[in-house]
Amino acid sequence: MRLAELSTRSGVSTATIKYYLREGLLPPGRRVTATQAEYDEEHLRRLRLVRALIQVGRVPIASAREVLTALEDDSLDHNSRLGTAVWALPHGPGPTEDDPHTDAARRTVDALLERLDWENAQAYGAHSPAYGMLVTAVATLARLGYPCSVDDLAPYARAGRQLAVSDLDLIERYESSEEQLQAAVALTVLYEPVLLALRRIAQAEESNHRFGQGTSEQGTSA
C-alpha cells in the first residue's frame, strides 16, 4: 500500500507518519520510485503500536523508541517486552527521599508484597515506576493520618491481582506479540478511567446499603 492508504487505514495523518519515519519509530517502506515507497501489514501493525504509545499513552518519543527497540530484541521474552511497554507509560511521582514518611512507607510496601508472595514485584523493587508510585501514595496517606497499614492495603492488592487477570485475558485475545503490546498499552490507559468510574459507582452503592434508606436519590434533585 502507498502512504495515503496507510494513513487512511491507520487513522494517522501522512505528516505524522513521515515524522515517525524520520524518528525511526516506523521502518522505511520498500522503495518503488525515487519519491515513493510501499508499505505492508507489518507497517500498519507497527504504526498502531506507535499510535497507542504516543497518542493514547502519552509516551515521549525517546521512551517509545525504547519500547520499539525492546520489541525487536530477540534476547527478551514476551513478558519482558510487555513489561517494558507498560513501564514506559507515564506514572505518578516517585518517592521524595527527604520525606520522613518515605522509609516507613517503603517498609510497608515491602511487607505487603512479602505477605502476598509477589516475588517478582519485590525483585523489581526500586526499578519499577509502579513501586515508586505506591511508596509515594502510602507516604502521603501516612503524612495525612489516614489508614495505610499492610492490613489496610491488602484488600486493594488482592483486588488488583484479580484485575490483572482480567487485563491479561483481554490482551491474550490478540494473536501477534505486537498486537498484544499495543493492547497492553492502550488497555492500561483506557481502562483506568473505567476502573475509577466503577469504583465510585460501587462506593455509592455500598454507602446507600450502609447509610441510606434502601434507595438512592443522589443527583435526582438537581
pLDDT, tens digit, for every residue of 19-31? 999 998 998 888 8
CA 116 – CA 118 distance, rounded (Å): 5
The answer to whether 108 and 137 are in contact (CB under 8 A) is no
Alpha carbon separation from 21 to 16, 49, 220 (Å, rounded): 9, 14, 53
Helix (H) or strand (E) holding 37: strand 37-38
Nearest CA to 113 out of 153, 83, 162, 167 is that of: 153
The answer to whether residue 217 scores a pLDDT higher than 60 is no
In tens, the pLDDT along 51-67 reads: 888 887 788 898 888 87
Of all residues in the chain, the percent with pLDDT exceeding 90 is 43
Res. 123: pLDDT tops 80: no
User: Is residue 83 predicted with pLDDT exceeding 70?
Assistant: yes
Secondary structure letter of residue 29 according to DSSP: -
- Sign for the CA dihedral angle at 202, 204, 205, 206 comes to positive
Residue 71 and residue 86: Cα distance in Å, rounded?
12
| pLDDT of 215 higher than 80 | no
The pLDDT-based confidence of 218 (bands split at 50, 70, 90) is low
Across the strands, what pairs with 30?
38
Quickly state the pLDDT bin for 75 (edges 50, 70, 90).
confident
Residue 214's pLDDT band (boundaries 50, 70, 90)?
A: low
Grid cell in block for residue 212: 441510606
**pLDDT tens-digit profile of 145-171?**
999 999 999 999 999 999 999 999 999
Is there a contact between 67 and 85 (Cβ–Cβ < 8 Å)? Answer: yes
Residue 25 or residue 177, greater confidence: 25
Q: Per-residue pLDDT tens for 85-105?
A: 888 788 888 888 888 899 999
**Fold classification of 3-77 (topology level):** Multidrug-efflux Transporter Regulator; Chain: A; Domain 2 (1.10.1660)
pLDDT of residue 222: 36
- Write down the domain spans for the chain: 3-77, 100-211
